[in-house]
Amino acid sequence: MPRFRNIVILTGAGLSAESGLSTFRDPNGLWAKYDWREVATPQGFAKNPTMVHDFYNMRRRAHATIKPNAAHIALATLEARHPNVTVVTQNVDALHEAAGTRNLIHMHGEALKVFCRQCDARHTWVDDLSVETPCPACRETGAMRPDVVWFGEMPYHMERIGQLLGRCDLFISIGTSGNVYPAAGFVAVAREAGAHTVELNLEPSSGATLFAEAIYGPATEIVPAYVERILRDTVSA
Ligand code: OAD
């Protein structure tokens, strides 16, 4: 394996599955139980904000018990031992941070944050949210929403992600089905930049043929093994 100088890692729900969080598109995933149009669009929120708050309250509450798994920890170890690693996550959970990853971009927002549509203030939030909750900054009621990106909204930090992809020489996609853009298009951008591209997933994703290398299996097994390989060949070589 060549020495890699700039590593970008894209993560998705499969990374957190073995921590006990549901993925979206697996047979028992969230989108088998909930209609994404109702709980993950601005239109759904306008129509039934209580239903949307309940959905995110449930996901926020899960943070009281979940813990990072061996794959999250391996990625934090990689960052600690390699000078240029950025994790771009589609996950709204806080498991990368809990594992120790610092160079982290939450492109789909964060379950433990909320923002006020009235004054734009953002707040860290662990409790339930409702249409009655006043904004701690402006006191407006009914304007608070989860700080997550819904379908039809622009993911966060796209300019910075584009710059990172444009100069990476290793791109690793972990635990994502490759169904949701723009994240599903990152592999093509990284390839264009000349990066080695790797998919680590339970099964081939929708974009599997775009990757130069692929390893399939549970994230807690294949991610630590791949990180060990990078550290052995890239850092200590
Ligand atoms: P998906 O549910 O679409 O895909 C999860 C992927 O993880 C699948 O390819 C699974 O095979 C794989 N997987 C499941 N368990 C795994 C394990 N233990 N180890 C490794 N891989 C495993 O989730 P995402 O691709 O993250 O966006 O979904 C992308 C976006 O769609 C989400 O951020 C969310 C969702 O709708 C919004 O809500 C805007």
- pLDDT at position 233, please? 81
Looking at domain 22-65+112-148, which CATH architecture does it have? 2-Layer Sandwich (3.30)
On whether the pTM is more than 0.95, the answer is yes
Burial annotation 51-90 (CB, 10 A radius, 16+ → b, else e): ebbebbbebbeebeeeebbbbbbbbbbbbeebebbbbbbb
Cα 20 from Cα 18, distance rounded (Å): 5
Give the integer Cα–Cα distance in Å for 221 and 95: 17
Establish whether residue 107 lines the binding site of ligand 1, counting it when its CB lies within 6 angstroms of any ligand atom.
no
Would you say the CB of residue 179 lies under 6 angstroms from ligand 1? yes
1-20+67-108+155-237: CATH topology is: Rossmann fold (3.40.50)
The answer to whether 183 and 83 are in contact (CB under 8 A) is no
Strand ranges (E), 29-186 = 85-89, 104-106, 109-116, 122-124, 144-148, 170-174
Mean pLDDT of 77-90: 97
89 three-state secondary structure: strand
pLDDT exceeds cutoff 80 at 2: no
If you average pLDDT over residues 46-58, what whole number do you get? 98
Q: What is the pLDDT of residues 165-222, one digit of tens each?
A: 999 999 999 999 999 999 999 999 999 999 999 999 999 999 999 999 999 999 999 9
Among 82, 96, 108, 196, which one carries the catalytic annotation? 108
149 lines ligand 1 (CB under 6 A): yes
236: pLDDT confidence band, cut at 50, 70 and 90?
Answer: low
CATH 3.30.1600.10 residue ranges for the chain: 22-65+112-148
Let me know if 106 is a catalytic residue: no
CA distances for 172 relative to 66, 77, 79, 102, 193, angstroms: 24, 15, 14, 17, 14
CATH 3.40.50.1220-classified regions of the chain: 1-20+67-108+155-237
